[in-house]
């Protein structure tokens, strides 16, 4: 087992919203041809992604933590509506998280198929 990856995931999940915010940012950047999302657009992306309605204040605190961890960059920080995007390191973390989620989904599917055969 690679404990370095486990530590990375532990840090990413220190606050449960951080991983969701980072994933929504990556999705928002990938789905937007013009520019990355601002705070209000990110809140909407989170709701559309099946996340709960998280206050902009909570999102803002998570963005600050993610920026300090160098996982998120802010464009036009002095602007009234700055926009946020994952850094290359943020993209690496979200890729790791995606691989983990897909592996868990595959494992769940395999276990369900095995359980069905055994019953």
- Kindly report, residue by residue over 25-61, the tens digit of the pLDDT: 887 766 655 678 888 888 888 888 776 678 888 888 9
Q: What is the pTM of this model?
A: 0.73
How many other C-beta atoms can be found within 10 angstroms of the C-beta atom of residue 62? 21
Task: Give first-to-last CA distance, the chain, whole Å.
Answer: 32
Please check whether residue 63 is in contact with residue 70, taking contact to mean a CB–CB distance below 8 angstroms: no
Give the fold, CATH level 3, of 3-118. Answer: Arc Repressor Mutant, subunit A (1.10.10)
- Within 13 Å and on the Cβ side, how many CA atoms surround 18? 23
Instruction: Select the more confidently predicted residue: 112 or 95.
Output: 95
Say what the pLDDT of residue 114 is: 66
């Amino acid at each position: 087992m690679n404990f370095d990856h486990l530590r990375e995931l532990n840090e990413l999940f220190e606050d449960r919203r951080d991983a969701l915010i980072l994933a929504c940012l990556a999705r928002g950047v990938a789905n937007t041809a013009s520019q990355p999302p601002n705070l209000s657009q990110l809140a909407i992306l989170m709701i559309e992604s099946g996340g709960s309605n998280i206050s902009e204040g909570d999102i803002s605190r998570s963005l600050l933590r993610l920026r300090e961890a160098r996982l998120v960059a802010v464009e036009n920080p002095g602007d009234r509506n700055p926009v946020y995007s994952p850094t290359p390191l943020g993209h690496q973390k979200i890729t790791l998280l995606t691989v983990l989620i897909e592996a868990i989904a595959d494992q769940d599917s395999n276990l369900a198929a095995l359980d069905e055969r055994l019953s």
